[in-house]
Amino acid sequence: MRTAFDGPELNAPPTAAVSTLAAEKPSMRAIEVRGLGALAERRADWDDLCRDALEPNLFYESWMLLPAIEAFGEGLDLRFVLIYAEDRADPSAPARLCGLFPIERKMRYKGLPFVSFNLWRHLHCFLCTPPLRAGFERECLEAFFDWLRNGPDGGALMEFGWINTDGPFYEALAEYLNETGKTSFVSDQFTRALYRPGADADSYLTKAISKEHRRDYRRRHNRLSEKGRLDYVALERETDLEEWLEMFLTLEASGWKGREGSAFGSDEAGRTFFIKAMTEAFDRGRLMMLAIKLDDSFVALKCNLLAGRGSFAFKITYDEAYARFCPGVLLELENIRLLHERDEIEWMDSCAEPNHFMMNRLWTERRDIVDLVVSTGTKAGNLAISSFPLLRWISRKLVRPTVSIFFAGLEITG
């Protein structure tokens, strides 16, 4: 079934909607896919790629990205560039997917007469590091940039937004840009809280939280427990999944996110995305859902998503009627204790805002996230990148409204 935003698609198997462009190396080729249906037909290749990815990013895995496209992609010019490796020794052998770049094409920079591409990020996507097959990262980047420069809709700039700097993808990208001489500009950079385990939960919390605050949280736990039977529980049974997800939506909609319209349940698209993505995560053993219950009522709920040796703290919500007991913090403290019991989880990305007060207090390490704008090699792209540092400096020095508006249009100041 086609969706409302299934765009024109170019012919090639397995669908009638794909275009190919030979990459510089004959063993690699870039394929542009448009439309949800055409992308979904390559799901088996996609899942195989993510199982062998250079580093994990579940936001770009099929079970997370396909519901996001369906929910939030309508009206956007989305393209999905797939990099395939072909067996030189046996041309008849099936090509193997080695890279996937979900990108959006748009006239991003007002006042500049060219289009650009950026890694696609929706409201609930907290990392855009694309999946590349380990051992093929250099070849994938070469093929992708060749597609950017020579494709029918070639853009002057490619924005790698919201990518982490602490992993092998960023290292491979930086090395490729240095070796090829492509100009780039860091348009934004920030850090957010990251969890890595300590010797044990108690020593971790002693280091992270002052004695005064630990005493305060114990007091709030004790006061909350006076209201009824207090339990910290984890989702285990499939038969409980629907109830837990519905209660998460209900609690979130009843709080400040519901009042400002940013809760999943604020519209049908967000609600459908949450239910589909979390159900897919549970089916794959990727959902770690925790709760605080008072008697039989949910006080707080938290969704963690697992990705290999890592994980992501996706969403948390709580009943604001119990706000004075800090149930969100209490559940985060329980989360830290549980993570210390799971040796297979080496880190958890908070997915939080840079200055998030609670997460920055509880989690002792930080992850660097950058927005990197790269010229695809065109004269216009090179000129734009070379101009950005000067334009940023001018925009900080001058306060005339016309200058501020123009540079805000360029979006070079974040």
Is position 259 within any domain?
yes
* Domain count along the chain: 2
Residue 352 has phi, psi (to 5 degrees) of -95, 165
| pLDDT of 115 above 80 | no
**Cα four-point dihedral sign 385, 386, 389, 391:** negative
Residue 358, phi then psi, degrees to nearest 5: -65, -50
- Domain holding 120, by residue range, is 18-194+371-410
My answer on whether 25 and 84 are in the same domain is yes
Residues 75 and 138 in one domain: yes
Q: What are 383's two structure tokens? A: 């000129």
Same-domain status, 46 and 190: yes
Q: Is the pLDDT of residue 245 over 80?
A: yes
Mean pLDDT for 127-156 is 90
**Confidence (pLDDT) at 3:** 35
How high is the pLDDT of residue 11?
A: 32
pLDDT grade, residue 110 (50/70/90)? low
**Do 182 and 219 sit in the same domain of this protein?**
no
90, pLDDT greater than 80: no
CATH at 133: 3.40.630.30
Please give the C-alpha separations between residue 170 and each of 23, 175, 289, in angstroms, as whole numbers.
21, 8, 30
Q: Indicate whether 361 belongs to any domain.
A: no
Q: Are 56 and 33 in contact (CB under 8 A)?
A: no
- Per-residue model confidence as pLDDT tens digits over 51-68: 999 999 999 999 999 999
- Does residue 112 register a pLDDT over 70? no
State the average pLDDT over residues 197-215: 95
Q: Which residue has the tokens 């990815």?
A: 53
CA dist., res. 345 & res. 338, Å (int): 10
Specify whether 78 is located in the same domain as 133: yes
Check residues 153 and 318 and name the one with the higher pLDDT: 318
Using alpha carbons, list the distances in angstroms from residue 229 to 173, 289, 290, 295.
52, 20, 17, 5
pTM, whole model, 2 decimals? 0.86
Task: Say whether pLDDT at 343 is over 80.
Answer: yes
Do 165 and 273 share a domain, yes or no?
no
Name the more confident of 185 and 388: 185
- Looking at the fold, whether 172 and 108 belong to one and the same domain comes out as yes
Q: So what's the pLDDT on residue 18?
A: 43
Q: Residue 89: its pLDDT value, please? A: 67
| In a domain? residue 117 | yes
With respect to residue 73, please indicate whether it lies within any of the assigned structural domains.
Answer: yes
Helix/strand/coil (H/E/C) assignment for every residue in 316-370: EEECHHHHHHCHHHHHHHHHHHHHHCCCCCCCEECCCCCCCHHHHHHCCEEEEEE
Q: Looking at the domain assignment, is residue 35 inside a domain?
A: yes
pLDDT value of position 104: 95
Report, as an integer, the average pLDDT of 342-362: 94
81 and 183 part of one domain = yes
Model confidence at 93: pLDDT above 50? yes
Residues 108, 36 within the same domain: yes
Contacts of 324 by beta carbon, 8 Å cutoff, 6+ apart: 220
Question: Do 160 and 215 share a domain, yes or no?
Answer: no
What pLDDT was estimated at residue 172? 97
- In terms of domains, do 115 and 51 share one? yes
CA distance 54 to 114: 32
pLDDT at 357: 87
Q: Are residues 268 and 310 in the same domain?
A: yes
Q: Is residue 52 part of a domain?
A: yes
